[in-house]
Amino acid sequence: MSAPLDIFGVHRVANGALWMEDVALSEVAHTFGTPTFVYSRAALSAAYARLDNALKRARKSKPYLICYAVKANSNLAVLNIFAKLGAGFDIVSGGELRRVLAAGGAPEKVVFSGLGKTRDEIAFALQIGIKGFNVESEPELKRISAVATELGKIARVSLRVNPDVDAKTHPYISTGLKNNKFGVAFDRAISTYQLASTLPNIEIAGVDCHIGSQLTDASPLLEAMGRLVSLADELESGGIPIHHICPGGGVGIAYADEPTIDIDAYATALEQALSIGGKKREMELLLEPGRMLTGNTGLLLAKIEYVKPTESKNFLVIDAAMNDLIRPSLYQAHHEIVMASAASDEVARVYDVVGPVCESADVLGRDRVLAAREGDLVAILSAGAYGFVMSSNYNTRPRAAEVMIDGANVHLARERERVDELFSAEHVPV
Ligand code: LLP
């Protein structure tokens, strides 16, 4: 079994057909059609428990909070499961805050990240009473202070500092270097905190950073954490108390058989960073994980429309496309693709797996060896994070359904869009 299939032990193959928990994926396709994102409740819970247990062990009785990065997969069913497990949430828009509330998340466990918060978003978050804002610039800090003053609220803030650490990941998902649009430059951090301490209705809560995503080596994350700890020390010795410290998200997952970060070792190393120099630091540890909690807990189920041999290549044309899962086209990301239908006596051939969208970039996987026939089902693995959330209606394609498997139960987490919905808000001129 390839790594992504194996990870949370929720997939199995019976007679060559792929199951998730106690449900054959052919049953999902039969009931809900394709393409469909399929998530496993057991895998989501296992991913959360793995991190939660690692932090519990590392932190002993000291406080920590897992703020799930909603952007990775914002379906209400997913948010609801994490909320029930006690998670907090990291949001980047008023829309995500509304989702968290609709899913039963606790507002006092929400941190608001992102570099373009509008006045309305800030006001809404203050009224709801979130845990705090991760502030990315001086003008934002001033705006938050002004809105909080108007509303008679106190805004708790952390600065998202840019530690200038190379995350060594894809340039599109690397965010911690100087020339990125994100965060406050490290050498401006102290003066920005000093400014914050003079602004009305602002309470300084913590220090924060996020250096990038899909990191498979922990050292840049730990280097960034080290910088945050020294910044917190400097602030505290200058009379600014720091209540929490957050090295962001970014822990990568195995999309194939590549090595990944050991979660226990990561939690232990974060804890060690907090006691560097033999100093006792009692602040709360926050994390903002997205992908590691959802990536390998879901797949995209699709049907083969055509088997198309050509002189130079064989193509499998499936009914999922770059509008459903854009990661391969946008980041040249690799997703394993396996057969989900029962085994046939078809011979295995090398195929490019492509969608029907009119773009040469609409390739879900190149050079895959599959024993495939027209009408068979394929599963594109590791599609639980940055899958549905990044999907679009390009080519007037309705967005896929999302279902959640829970043991032998199949829960429709989001209905497939209907074509008429796609243009029902459009108007022809009179
Ligand atoms: N915190 C902040 C402030 C973030 O910007 C992000 C992700 C996270 C946490 C969660 O990072 P994670 O633990 O998931 O790595 N669409 C890309 C990934 C973009 C990540 C954006 N920020 C992809 O499909 O690979």
CATH number (domain holding residue 344) = 2.40.37.10
What letter would DSSP give residue 222? H
- 97 inside domain: no
Query: Which range of residues forms the domain containing residue 262?
Result: 113-289
Q: Tell me, what's the pLDDT at 177?
A: 64
Which residues does residue 406 pair with via DSSP β-bridges, in sequence order?
409
Confidence of residue 166 (pLDDT cuts 50, 70, 90): confident
Mean pLDDT within 346-372 = 97
**Nearest residue (CA) to ligand 1, atom 5:** 210
Same domain, 196 and 284: yes
Tokens 């998730």 identify what position? 20
Centroid of ligand 1 to alpha carbon of 44 (angstroms): 17
- Nearest Cα residue to atom 9 of ligand 1: 249
250 and 368, same domain (yes or no): no
Q: Looking at this protein, which amino acid is placed at residue 332?
A: Q
85 assigned to some structural domain: no
Question: Per-residue confidence at 181, pLDDT binned at 50, 70, 90?
Answer: confident
Taking residues 321-344, what's their average pLDDT? 96
Region of poorest pLDDT, from 18-22, 51-55, 170-174: 170-174
Find the DSSP H helices in 11-103.
25-32, 41-59, 76-84, 94-102
> 416 in a domain, yes or no?
yes
Asked if residue 179 and residue 146 are part of one domain, the reply reads yes
- pLDDT digits 0-9 by tens, 104-156: 999 999 999 999 999 999 999 999 999 999 999 999 999 999 999 999 999 99
List the one residue out of 398, 313, 318 whose CA is nearest residue 364. Answer: 318
Say yes or no: 282 and 300 in one domain.
no
The response to whether residue 213 sits with its C-beta less than 6 Å from ligand 1 reads yes
State how far the Cα of 262 lies from the Cα of 15, in Å rounded to an integer.
33
pLDDT at residue 184 in the model: 95
Report the CATH number that the domain containing residue 126 is assigned in CATH.
3.20.20.10
| 183 and 315, same domain (yes or no) | no
Q: How far is the CA of 199 from the centre of ligand 1 (A)?
A: 30
Is residue 107 one of the residues assigned to a domain? no
> Considering 250, 269, 289, which residue would you say is the last residue of a domain?
289
Q: What proportion of the chain, given as a percentage, has pLDDT over 70? A: 98
Long-range contacts of 183-188 (CB under 8 A, 24+ apart): 183/115, 183/136, 183/159, 183/209, 183/210, 184/135, 184/136, 184/137, 184/138, 184/159, 184/160, 185/161, 186/161, 186/162, 186/227, 186/231
Domain boundary among 289, 321, 338: 289
Which of 6-20, 345-359, 375-389 is predicted with the least confidence, judged by mean pLDDT? 6-20
Closest CA to 165 of 213, 199, 212, 133: 212
Residue found by looking up tokens 């049953």 in the block: 27
**Number of domains the chain contains:** 2
* Phi and psi at residue 298, to the nearest 5°: -150, 160
The CA 290 to ligand 1 mean position distance, Å, reads 6
Q: Within 13 Å and on the Cβ side, how many CA atoms surround 95?
A: 5
User: Is pLDDT at 12 greater than 90 in this prediction?
Assistant: no
Q: Is the per-residue pLDDT at 168 higher than 90? A: no
Atom of ligand 1 nearest to the CA of 213: 15
Cα 360 to chain center, whole Å?
27
**Domain shared by 266 and 358, yes or no:** no
Q: Say yes or no to pLDDT of 174 above 70.
A: no
Give me ligand 1 centre to Cα 143, in Å: 25
Give the catalytic positions in this structure. 358
Q: Is 290 in the pocket of ligand 1 (CB under 6 A)?
A: yes
pLDDT of residue 169: 72
What residue type is assigned to position 89 of the chain? F
Q: Is residue 252 part of a domain?
A: yes
386 lines ligand 1 (CB under 6 A): yes
**Model pLDDT, residue 164:** 86
Based on the fold, state whether residues 258 and 318 are members of the same structural domain: no
- Do 138 and 246 have their domain in common? yes
pLDDT of 188-200, one tens digit each? 999 999 999 999 9
What pLDDT, on the 0 to 100 scale, is given for residue 193? 98
| CB atoms closer than 10 angstroms to residue 101 | 16
196 located within any domain: yes
Within a domain: residue 106?
no
Residue 140 sits in the same domain as residue 283: yes
Looking from the CA of residue 175, the nearest atom of ligand 1 is: 5
Measured in Å, residue 77 CA sits from the centre of ligand 1 at 20
Residue 176: per-residue pLDDT = 61
Ranges of beta strands (E only) in 63-154 are 64-69, 88-91, 110-112, 132-135
Same domain, yes or no: 390 and 370 = yes
CA 84 distance to own-chain centroid: 18
Question: What is the chain's length?
Answer: 430
Query: Between 213 and 4, whose confidence is greater?
Result: 213
Listed residues 264, 289, 314: the one ending a domain: 289
Mean pLDDT of 322-336: 98
- Whether 370 and 407 map to the same domain: the answer is yes
| Alpha-carbon torsion, ordered 326, 330, 333, 337, to 10 deg | 30
Beta carbons within 8 Å of 425's beta carbon, 6+ residues apart: none
Q: Is residue 66 part of a domain?
A: no
Of the candidates 71, 107, 81, 134, the one whose C-alpha atom is nearest the C-alpha of residue 289 is 71
Q: What are the pLDDT digits (tens) for 241-277?
A: 999 999 999 999 999 998 999 999 999 999 999 999 9
| For ligand 1, mutation pick of 291, 325, 389 (most atoms within 8 Å of CB) | 291
| Both structure tokens of 406 | 């829970």
Asked if 264 and 278 sit in the same domain, the reply is yes
